[in-house]
A and B are shown apart, each in its own frame.
Chain A
Amino acid sequence: MRFRRVAEGLEWAGIAGLLLMLLFTVVDVVGSKVFNKPLPGAIEWVGYLQIIAIGSTVAIGFYANRHISFEFLVWHLPEPVKNVVNKFVSMICFAFFILLARESFIYGLSLQKAGEISSTAHIPLYPFAFFLAFAAVIASLFFAGQLLPAKPLPSRERGAKHESS
């Protein structure tokens, strides 16, 4: 599938974000319960790292068919109608993710301009909004791939396919 590798690459950032979330949580709990020294700003770090973790995984979720959708009705449609419906849905979702990217970018700019930082750890917030915008662009690629005409097979494969048919 087109652009899948891009989504898979981004998923590694998500894994790193998730494991860092876990690390911050454990260090905070052990620090506060055992040594009476909680990790300063742990709550904020865990929250913002979650944007990296979740944002990075939205795109691969489409390739892996992990987002909840109601398949039942479309299954029963004839193939040509199904294709038209799929193109229409891809168009809507592509537009949605481009809009989400645009709005997240604008939101990031407003956070940057206002100098918004978190209250305890003083983490600047705008990079996370920019990251969300980037993740939305990567997610939109899934639908762009569905809208583009099918890739022609390389000549050797085409020959093999022809022979087998």
Chain B
Amino acid sequence: MSPVEIGLWGIALLFVLVFLRVPIAFAMAIVGVLGFGWISSWQAGLSILARDFFGQFASYSLSAITMFVLMGSFAFVAGIGERLYEAAYGLVGDRKGGLGIATIIGCAGFAAICGSTAATAATMGKIALPEMRKYHYNDTLATGTVASGGTLGILIPPSTVFIVYGFLTEQSIGKLFIAGILPGLVLTLFFGLTVYLMCRFKPELGPPGESISMKAKLKAFFSAFEALGVFVLVIGGLFLGWFSPVQAGGIGAALALLIGLFRRQVTWENFVELTKDGLRTATMILAVIAGATIFGRFMAVSTIPFYLAGWVQNLPLSPTAIVAVIIFIFFIGGFFIDVMALITLLVPIIFPIIKHLGLDLIWFGVIIVLVSNMGVLTPPVGVNVYVVKALAPEIPLGQIFKGTIPFLIAIILTTGIVVAFPSLSLYLPGLLK
């Protein structure tokens, strides 16, 4: 059997194991060891198992994931999300649809100190959902806003997905982070516009919230400055080359913890609970990366990615059309597979194609994150929708999925803009040293 045939059998076996509910990280490792062993030697296959798990778990560059996840957890403990929401409420809360727009602004703010979609949706959902329901917001709009706003967590830096993508494609994590800022702001604007337009045409969907005094507005606004401070230090430090991504995440986590201690919001119980939660999330991501590394070695010796790259290059299609096809594959995959797993599965196969076509891998990274944003909202595995469902169990799942549809259109629109105007994502990284 040729290496390519073994590779194809391996991919089929991977799908069988995944569909049988073997955790994706370990399914990739199992198939990787078997396939690599078959093509090279069984001894070699077995030795990469321990070496790759050891190597990835001990990887300093991957510590950035652990640190940024911890930063998000500590930011939650510190109540930063709450103060961000209050500041955004002060800005627009007393207008039609204002609470929804405030939720989006709050999500964008929290995304600037947290790199996960689920954590952003959970944090903002806990604060914003009760408020929106208090003012008789339509449930579909309220839950859709929270689930969708959470997706900003991986586009606005820091972002765990950017770190994983950067690791898989050997791109600068600092540049990827910076590349996400402008598209993140555009998406925030489109999300805000979505809420505004929906409430403009159907005012009963989002009645205005209670008006607050100018003094209270200013107080709320200034209390959110700590989040801005953390963002400026962490991302600014990365931008100016003061910190490595790991150091930036570490400093961000320590600052968030200090803010929580200073504000007396950290208790032993919530500290332990959130540290455990962050650690479990980081473990899940690093296990997927370790499994993907082993699977990637198998794919490399099977030569499938190189055949695929050559085949795609010879297709009578323009590079933009090929990117559109790849986006479509990710979009469809996002319906069924968790985005982190999808990225670790597909990026090692697809990025040689992008490289072959001479396209920018930083730009492509932003597109991948935008498509991942769709994946966390689409059924049946839209993680953010389940997060919101956990916060509002009485609202049917279908209603929450329905609520995300207008926001999905906003994400598709932003993706189109980033594809059509690469400078939107490449301008800021171009300023980096």
Which residues of A pack against B, CB within 8 Å? Answer: 11, 14-15, 18-19, 21-22, 25-26, 28-29, 33, 43-44, 46-48, 50-51, 53-55, 57-58, 60-62, 64, 66-74, 85-86, 88-89, 92-93, 96, 99-100, 103-104, 106-107, 128-129, 132
Contact = CB atoms under 8 A, between A and B. Distances in A.
A16 B51 CA distance: 24
Given A22-B254, A66-B281, 6 more contacts: A47-B59, A51-B57, A58-B287, A70-B18, A70-B21, A129-B54
Contact of A132 (B24, B53, B283): B53
A22 B67 contact: yes
B284 A70 contact: no
Contacts of B20: 73-74, 85, 88-89
B167 interface: no
26 contacts: A11-B279, A15-B275, A18-B279, A21-B67, A22-B67, A25-B67, A26-B251, A33-B242, A43-B60, A50-B59, A54-B66, A54-B279, A55-B57, A57-B283, A66-B284, A67-B24, A67-B26, A67-B284, A69-B21, A69-B22, A73-B19, A88-B20, A96-B30, A128-B54, A132-B53, A132-B57
Interface stretch (B80-88, B180-188, B260-268, B332-340): B332-340
B60 A46 contact: yes
A22 B253 contact: yes
B23 A68 contact: yes
Interface stretch (B42-50, B192-200, B299-307): B42-50
Contact of B66 (A21, A71, A86): A21
A68 to B, nearest CB: 5
Interface of B: 17-26, 29-30, 33, 46-47, 49-51, 53-54, 57-60, 62-63, 66-67, 70, 242-243, 246-247, 249-251, 253-254, 272, 275-276, 278-284, 286-288, 336-338, 340-341, 380-381
B336 A57 contact: no
Contacts, number: 168
B70 A18 contact: yes
A26 B258 CA distance: 12
Contact of A68 (B25, B275, B276, B278): B25
B263 to A, nearest CB: 19
Contacts of A18: 66, 70, 275, 278-279, 282
Q: Which among B49, B58, B272, B338 has the highest number of chain A CB atoms within 10 Å?
A: B58
A93 B33 CA distance: 14
Given A55-B57, A104-B50, A132-B54, A68 B21 contact: no
